[in-house]
Amino acid sequence: MKPYTPAELMVVAAAREIKDGEVVFVGMRLPLIAFAVAKRLHAPDAIGFFENGVVRDAPSASLLYTMGDPPNIEGAAQCSSMTTVMGLMQKGEVDLGFLGGAEVDKYGNINTSYVGDPYSPEVKLPGSGGAADIASLARRFVVIIEHNSRRLVERVSYITSPGNGEGAHWRANE
């Protein structure tokens, strides 16, 4: 038997985080595959939200390159707007969100803004998009990133999406 890849291991670990009946802010690439695996193996009643307003009760049968691809729209349980799905998250209706980032620290804080000195960054990044909302409003979130010392850091260069900030009891709801 061929050994599994790190990406395959992350997909399986992420799929195991999805519980049956949960509402999951899915995203693309590995989180999308994790959602499909969970639906097939142990969470048939999980619901997937996409940032563009698509809500799916079953993964698309076709390969998706972007969340707005026609196969993601076809067969969707609902096609609304980003405002609608973000509003549902603000109402507390999202159990789990999947996120990525350039850096994540031991407190779960995510950096997608810049790496290095803020006045002269080594790398400029695209920013939060909806990730800060997902990190703040989903009941819990999972970060799926490549595991290496440049990405898993002691402290992120900048907290774009908050995990637990400075540590225990940093979040208002704890």
Confidence of residue 27 (pLDDT cuts 50, 70, 90): confident
Gap between the Cα atoms of 132 and 144, Å rounded: 15
Q: What are phi and psi of 25, to 5 degrees?
A: -80, 105
* Summary mean pLDDT of the chain: 90
DSSP of 155-173: S-SS-SB-SSTTSTT-STT
Q: Half-sphere exposure (CA, 13 Å, Cβ side) for 23?
A: 18
Question: Which has the higher per-residue pLDDT, 110 or 164?
Answer: 110
pTM of the model as a whole: 0.87
Gap between the Cα atoms of 130 and 26, Å rounded: 12
Structural domains in the chain plus CATH codes: 1-99 (3.40.1080.10), 101-169 (no CATH)
Gap between the Cα atoms of 122 and 141, Å rounded: 28
Q: Based on the residue annotation, tell me whether 74 is a catalytic residue of this protein.
A: no
Query: Which one is catalytic: 17, 51, 74, 166?
Result: 51
Judged against a pLDDT cut of 90, whether residue 22 lies above it is answered with: yes
For residues 53-68, average pLDDT? 82
